[in-house]
């Protein structure tokens, strides 16, 4: 049911058949377009929860990401070290995506979005033009508040933001956010930081179909990014196999025992999932189907 | 003059603009954004925006996040 090999949005980004003898080990994927933004990598990584800034730097490098998320927080007015995360991010080649994490009302999310934009404008980073909108329901689940998210999305679009909406895995609210002007809808695989991967693959598939299939009022070009819940590389493969355009994660890399190696694995997984989704997997069958010919066997076959 | 700065009471010596407050805090060059009473005060207006008694001021920056 969930095999998506024939969906038009996958075929629309189908690349010519790869010549295995001449192709590089991992042929470059087409860039990810979100509104007026273009990202080389379809993996977007967070910058939170790392044990230190040096590890974060190396992990971002290994992930191949050219976009990273950050949060807006009170300046610590008596910080002895005085070190800023900005000193550890190569701002000249990264697009910063500020989030509204920690916001539980539309009003707060709009405030925080404007504060993030103000800082990125000072830094001259293109990320000043967009925001990862999160309006959360409560601290325990960190699941999106769909009503607050929709309200904030409308307000931010009116204010000129390119809005990337963190959403639950519900196709109806996803379409409402798209209709409200969200440049991308980003359904949660599972709760933030849970590492449970794609908890409801059928729901994610319905979100993707709703936003991308013409017969459901979607458009193949509309970017859908699976955000949150990724615990390991196979979760990324899974998301991409379901037809996602990209994946956003943080904890799965930052809290791995070896974050840099995990970042490398996540990068490979994204490529693997992308190609798998377009290669047309075999149907699942209950019983076996021999790979070696029956013709010419010299053995006794039970029951024959 | 008393204001609330990032959730803490703060006593200022006298009248001050947002720019003067940032100077006192050593943040005049830091990438940060300022809100007064939940309204953003753009950088271009820091020199002219005078703080008033009881103002709630937030000075924020970017930190690691997902």
Domain of B38, in residue numbers: 2-60
Q: What is the mean pLDDT of residues A27-41?
A: 93
Residue in B5, B59, B66 nearest the CB of A251:
B66
ipTM, two decimals, is 0.95
Q: CB A71 to CB B65 under 8 A?
A: yes
Q: How far away is chain B from the Cα of A119, in angstroms, using its nearest Cα?
A: 6
Q: How many CB pairs under 8 A join A and B?
A: 104
Do A50 and B64 lie within an 8 Å CB cutoff? yes
Compute φ and ψ for A124, nearest 5 degrees: 70, 25
What does the pLDDT look like over A99-143, one tens digit per residue?
999 999 999 999 999 999 999 999 999 999 999 999 999 999 999
Query: Considering the domain boundaries, does residue B29 fall inside one?
Result: yes
CATH architecture for the domain at A50-74+88-277:
Alpha-Beta Barrel (3.20)
Tell if the CB–CB gap between A75 and B35 is shorter than 8 Å. Answer: no
Report strand pairing: A37-39 vs A32-34.
antiparallel
The 8-class DSSP code of residue A2 comes to: -
Question: Is residue B65 domain-resident?
Answer: no
Contacts of B64 in chain A (CB under 8 A): 46-50, 56, 70-71, 85
A169-191: average pLDDT: 98
Evaluate whether residue B25 is within a structural domain: yes
What does the H/E/C string look like for chain A?
CCCCCCCHHHHCCCCCCCCCCCCCCCCCCCCEEECCEEECCCEEEECCCCCCHHHHHHHHHHHCCCEEEEEEEECCCCCCCCCCHHHHCCCCCCEEEEECCCCCCHHHHHHHHHHHHHHHHHHCCHHHHEEEECCECCCCCCCECHHHHHHHHHHHHHCCCEEEEEECCCHHHHHHHHHCCCCEEEEECCCCCCCCCCCCHHHHHHHHHHHHCHHHCCCCCCCEEEECCCCCHHHHHHHHHCCCCEEEECHHHHCCCCHHHHHHHHHHHHHHHHHHHHHCCCCCCCCCCCCCCCCCCCCCCCCC
Q: Looking at residue B9, what is its pLDDT?
A: 95
Q: Is residue B24, in this structure, part of any structural domain at all?
A: yes
* Greatest extent of chain B over all pairs of C-alpha atoms, in Å: 40
Is A114 touching B (CB cutoff 8 A)? Answer: yes
Q: What is the pLDDT of residues A243-271, one digit of tens each?
A: 999 999 999 999 999 999 999 999 999 99
**B66 is a domain residue:** no
Looking at every residue in chain A, the average pLDDT score rounds to 93
Q: Rounded mean pLDDT of B8-24?
A: 94
**Measured distance CA(A227)–CA(A146) in Å, rounded:** 15
Total count of domains within chain B: 1
Residue B43 predicted with pLDDT over 60: yes
Q: What CATH number corresponds to the domain at position B13?
A: 3.10.20.30
């Amino acid at each position: 049911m969930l095999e998506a090999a024939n969906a038009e949005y996958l075929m629309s980004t189908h690349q010519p058949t790869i010549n295995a003898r001449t192709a590089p080990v991992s042929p470059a994927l087409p860039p990810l377009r979100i509104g007026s933004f273009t990202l080389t990598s379809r993996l977007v990584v967070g910058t939170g929860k790392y044990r230190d800034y040096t590890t974060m730097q190396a992990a971002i490098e290994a992930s191949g990401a050219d976009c990273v998320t950050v949060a807006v927080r009170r300046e610590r007015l008596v910080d002895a070290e005085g070190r800023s995360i900005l000193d550890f991010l190569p701002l000249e080649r990264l697009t910063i995506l500020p989030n509204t994490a920690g916001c539980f009302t539309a009003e707060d999310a709009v405030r925080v979005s404007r504060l993030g934009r103000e800082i990125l404008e000072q830094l001259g980073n293109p990320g000043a033009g967009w925001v990862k909108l999160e309006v959360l329901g409560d601290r325990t689940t960190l699941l999106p508040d769909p009503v607050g998210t929709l309200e904030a999305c409308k307000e931010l679009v009116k204010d000129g933001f390119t809005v990337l909406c963190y959403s639950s895995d519900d196709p109806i609210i996803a379409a409402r956010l798209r209709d409200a002007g969200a440049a991308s809808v980003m359904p949660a695989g599972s709760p933030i930081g849970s590492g449970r991967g794609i908890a409801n693959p059928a729901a994610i598939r319905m979100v993707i179909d709703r936003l991308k299939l013409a017969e459901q009022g979607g458009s193949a070009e509309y970017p859908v990014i699976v955000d949150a819940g990724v615990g390991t590389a196979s979760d990324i493969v899974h998301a991409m196999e379901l037809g996602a355009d990209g994946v956003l994660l943080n904890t799965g890399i930052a809290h791995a025992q070896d974050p840099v190696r995990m970042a490398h694995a996540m990068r490979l997984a994204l490529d693997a999932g992308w190609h798998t989704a377009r290669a047309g997997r075999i149907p699942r069958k209950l019983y076996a189907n021999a790979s070696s010919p029956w013709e010419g066997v010299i053995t006794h076959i039970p029951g024959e | 003059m008393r204001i609330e700065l990032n959730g803490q009471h703060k006593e200022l010596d006298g009248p001050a603009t947002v720019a003067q407050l940032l100077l006192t805090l050593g943040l005049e060059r830091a990438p940060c954004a300022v809100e007064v009473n939940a309204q953003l005060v753009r950088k271009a207006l820091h020199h002219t925006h005078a703080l008033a008694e009881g103002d709630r001021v937030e000075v924020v920056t970017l930190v690691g996040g997902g």
